[in-house]
Amino acid sequence: MTAESGILVMNKPQGFTSFDVIGKLRGILKMKRLGHTGTLDPMATGVLPVLIGTAARACDILPDEGKAYRAGFQLGTVTDTQDSSGTVLETHPFDVPEEALRQILPQFIGEIQQIPPMYSAVQIGGKRLYELAREGKEIERPARTVTVSGLSLEAYDRASGCGTLAITCGKGTYVRTILHDIGGVLGCGCMMTALERTAACGFTLRDAHTFAEVQQAADEDTLDSLVIPTDRLFLTLPALQLGEVQTRLYRNGVKLELRRIKGISEAKRYRVYGAEQGFLGLAEADRENGILRVYKNL
């Protein structure tokens, strides 16, 4: 195994938390420095980019490129977790025409208000909501603004009340809460029955690998073929190519004079490449003082 830094996109299996994925990969890769790019519930499957080596430093500066999901649902049932893993609280009769379901979906597109579910990792008063929920407590949660850029019905069976939605949304959006709230508008309740993340951080299921594939690559010393360069996370930022002396200064954390840097634009943040070392990290322009400073070494 020769890969020391980059992105390993995993296809998370059901039943694993994001931290479980990190734990198993540490065993396969014999590496401690790993980080994931966003929590997935144990019920969920699909795209989970994992940052390995120095790329793990990027966990807290990732651009919000949005995420895409495919979610299964069942009308007529309300649970305490808002999905089929929870305890059933209510059941209601349902007979919802497909057109009626489609007509309400636009209500959940754009910037919407969403109350986080009790079974979530949101912290209120220094305690995780799921910890309170497990103690049998329910507290008032303030609504948060989240962004849903796409919501469409992929499949639906009126008789069973089961179907699938395709959802594209921003950071902090709870898909199961969207389904729960759709059930509220319909008046019959709804729970999520399956969730697959189909895209995250610019990566899709085509980029994702199973544990078996990673184990085989590690055994055959071909892990490099699976690891994606770290700069793929920041392709939306303009690139700067530094000269040899500038590269050395940047790597030592020295501020550079903006007027001496080729390719500088009106952007605030940049991808930075060295004379021979390739991708170095991110830099930020301070035009008031005429300098370019290191934002994050990667």
The catalytic site residues sit at: 41
Give residue for tokens 């799921």. 130
Q: How many CB atoms lie within 10 A of CB 207?
A: 20
Indicate the burial class of 60 (C-beta count within 10 angstroms; 0-12, 13-18, 19 or more): exposed
Indicate the length of the chain as a whole number: 298
Backbone torsions φ then ψ of 72, nearest 5 degrees: -85, 150
Q: Which of 210, 128, 122 is closest to 174 using CA atoms?
A: 122
CB 36 within 8 A of CB 187: no
Q: How many CB atoms lie within 10 A of CB 120?
A: 19
